[in-house]
Amino acid sequence: MLKISELAEQTGLSAHTLRYYEKHGLINASNRSAAGYRFYTDLDVRRVQFVKTARNTGFSLADIGQLLSIRVDKQSHSCQDVTDITQKKLLEVNAKLAELQSMQQTLELLLESCCGGPENATHCSIMEALDAGLSREDEN
Amino acid sequence: MLKISELAEQTGLSAHTLRYYEKHGLINASNRSAAGYRFYTDLDVRRVQFVKTARNTGFSLADIGQLLSIRVDKQSHSCQDVTDITQKKLLEVNAKLAELQSMQQTLELLLESCCGGPENATHCSIMEALDAGLSREDEN
DNA sequence: GTTGACCTTAGAGTTAACTCTAAGCTTATA
DNA sequence: TATAAGCTTAGAGTTAACTCTAAGGTCAAC
């Protein structure tokens, strides 16, 4: 049985975050001391680790809530329920990735075009490109 | 001379957003009518377009504030001032990109591993992988 | 028996970039 | 001249996921 600070140390999350997760229905302490202190079992720890892993994989807390409700009653859910959530997240990640890759390319082109030196910026090609709307090559 | 809704239409930004940008010192209306209506010149329009282009390139409003202060006094700034801002942004974008690529890979592996069918989730390999911390292959 | 570290709760603050609302002028049109 | 569309401001609300604070109770050790 772990106290909240011990669980925090074991999982790498802060006690604040753990209480926050509890408030949002993701986790819970199986036991409380007479005075109200939270005490966590091994099962609780594993649930927190599940949350942390899902978080690192990009799932939102809302997604994780869904995944957890599948986790506690796997019989009543299908693999498709799980892949639906995962697919949706992958699409979001891919969309964000495309956006960032476009930014990356633009930034790299800008940096290639500019001397970056101590000359004054009167003819700076980055400023010119931003002024010209990047020459309309990549607009939204 | 454009009214704010006309500028909004020309730039694809909302009038709300334009006022927001003004409140944060990025743009301004060169003129006001007797009653206080904003009126924008061609120069104002170009400044707004600069902001929009920079925004699409990933710069934060704070970055754009810096770029704009260079823009209005290029003599007093060097190309290096501009590339410093651009470099910093590229590093941020690259960091975020790496994070998302790792998530993408994980999500794809998860999806490959799971049948995604109507079977119940008792042995769902996505759930198992999340439970196992993704087999420790990719931890933070 | 008193420090000091740790725990509790409710609730406020943070961040970025909007987005919207309310209450009240202004302006163009019919 | 009356209506509707559009403008003004100040300020509140939104989103996600924390992060922190205040005020106070608890517990182990010296």
Q: Is B78 on the interface with A (CB under 8 A)?
A: yes
Domains A4-58 and A84-136 share a fold: yes
Q: Which strand C bases fall within 7 angstroms of a protein CB?
A: 6-9, 16-21, 25-27
- Non-local (6+) Cβ contacts of A32 within 8 A are A38, A39
Token pair belonging to A131: 């002024």
| B104 to chain A, closest Cα gap in Å | 6
Q: Is A83 on the interface with B (CB under 8 A)?
A: yes
Residue A30's identity, in one-letter code, is: S
Residues of B whose CB is below 8 A from A81: 121
Asked if the B84-136 domain carries CATH number 3.40.190.290, the reply is no
Residues 27-46 of A with CB under 7 A from strand D: 33-37
Tens of pLDDT, residue by residue over B72-120, are: 999 999 999 999 999 999 999 999 999 999 999 999 999 999 999 999 9
CATH class in words for A4-58 = mainly alpha
Q: Which of B96, B74, B20 is nearest to B51 (CA)?
A: B20
Q: Is B65 on the interface with A (CB under 8 A)?
A: no
Q: Where are the domains of chain B?
A: 4-58, 84-136
Q: Report the pLDDT value the prediction gives residue A135, as an integer from 0 to 100.
A: 82
- Return the bridge partners of A39, or none: A31
Tens digit of pLDDT at every position of chain A (140 positions): 999 999 999 999 999 999 999 999 999 999 999 999 999 999 999 999 999 999 999 999 999 999 999 999 999 999 999 999 999 999 999 999 999 999 999 999 999 999 999 999 999 999 999 999 998 554 44
Q: Which long-range contacts (CB under 8 A, 24 or more apart) does B36-42 make?
A: B37/B3, B37/B4, B38/B3, B38/B4, B39/B1, B39/B2, B39/B3, B40/B1, B40/B2, B40/B3, B40/B4, B40/B6, B40/B7, B41/B1
Residues of A whose CB is below 8 A from B117: 78-80
Contact B101, B94 (CB under 8 A): no
Handedness of CA B124, B129, B131, B132 (dihedral sign): positive
